[in-house]
A = this chain, B = another copy of it.
Amino acid sequence: VPWSTRQLAELAGTTVKTVRHYHSLGLLEVPARTSNGYKQYDAGHLVRLLQIRRLSDLGVSLAQIASMGAEDAEPGEALRAIDEEIAANIERLRAVRAEIASIVLHDSPTDLPAGFSEGVAELSDADRSILLIYSRLFSSTAMEDLREMVMDRHRTPVDAEFDALPADADDETKQALAERYAPHLLGVIERHPWLKDPLAHASTSAALTGSVIGEAVDALYNAAQIDVLARSHRIIADQG
């Protein structure tokens, strides 16, 4: 009793389309046909199909299966290489799961760098954006430092005031804020000295790094905020 394509597929636990796909790749021999063109499979086809499925399930590509042919049933070297790939893959997926777990646990936004989902619920949009950019510019150890800094920081009234500063704030408001902001900023810089000389990310050129920080500040803070930052730096410089 020969089998139809559907029956063969069912016996092998796969689909009709898969069987036809293997035909088109020359992996599985096309069987004889009845007068009306229906294909007729026998046990030989089933065995071959099961061999292909087995190798495919083990992660061997169809191209590799084709190049091995039906006889070579001991692809030791190929399997070793595949195993390494799978191991790396599992590691990556595990890391992703840990990230997701942390995000879900802390109900944290996803527009933050990896590892920043714990204890940083209070960040503004601009802060999250700049952290994302920093994660591409600074080394991972610097980012670790930065993360602790963000976690430590008590969202002071000065911070909130800075975030809320309108672009058209008048000179007096800006100067007053800068005078309160300067000591705050100084404290931050003193506790985290690497902020002064941004260590460029390995893959990015030094020229780009500077331009990125400039652009980021321009894009993420309004004119008044930038002015307050400049004034604060001047105050710090004058004191030093």
Interface-facing stretch out of A15-23, A51-59, A154-162, A176-184: A51-59
Taken residue by residue from 106 to 118, chain A's Cβ proximity to chain B (1 for < 8 Å, 0 otherwise) reads as 0111111110000
- A interface residues, tally (CB under 8 Å): 67
Decide yes or no whether A7 CB sits under 8 A from chain B: yes
Decide yes or no whether A46 CB sits under 8 A from chain B: yes
Decide yes or no whether A188 CB sits under 8 A from chain B: no
Majority secondary structure of chain A interface residues (helix, strand, loop or mixed): helix
Please give the distance in Å from A123's CB to the nearest CB on chain B.
Answer: 11
The contact sample of 21 A-B pairs, CB cut-off 8 A, is A3-B208, A3-B211, A7-B208, A43-B212, A43-B216, A43-B220, A46-B133, A47-B219, A54-B111, A54-B112, A54-B114, A55-B110, A58-B99, A59-B96, A73-B110, A74-B107, A74-B109, A76-B104, A79-B100, A83-B97, A90-B90
